[in-house]
Amino acid sequence: MEKKKMGYAEAIAEVEAILDRFNREEFDVDTLAAQVKRATELIGLCREKLRKAEEDVAKILKEE
**What's the Rg (C-alpha) of the chain?**
16
Asked if residue 2 has pLDDT above 50, the reply is no
Please give the Cα distance from 26 to 28 (Å, whole number).
7
> Is 12:47 a contact under the CB 8 Å cutoff?
no
The pTM of the whole model exceeds 0.75? yes
| Closest CA relative to residue 14, chosen from 33, 37, 50, 2 | 37
pLDDT tier, 10 (very low <50, low <70, confident <90, very high otherwise): very high
* Residue scoring higher pLDDT (56 or 2): 56
pLDDT digits 0-9 by tens, 21-62:
999 988 888 899 999 999 999 999 999 999 999 999 999 999
By CB atoms closer than 10 A (0-12, 13-18, 19+), residue 54 is: exposed
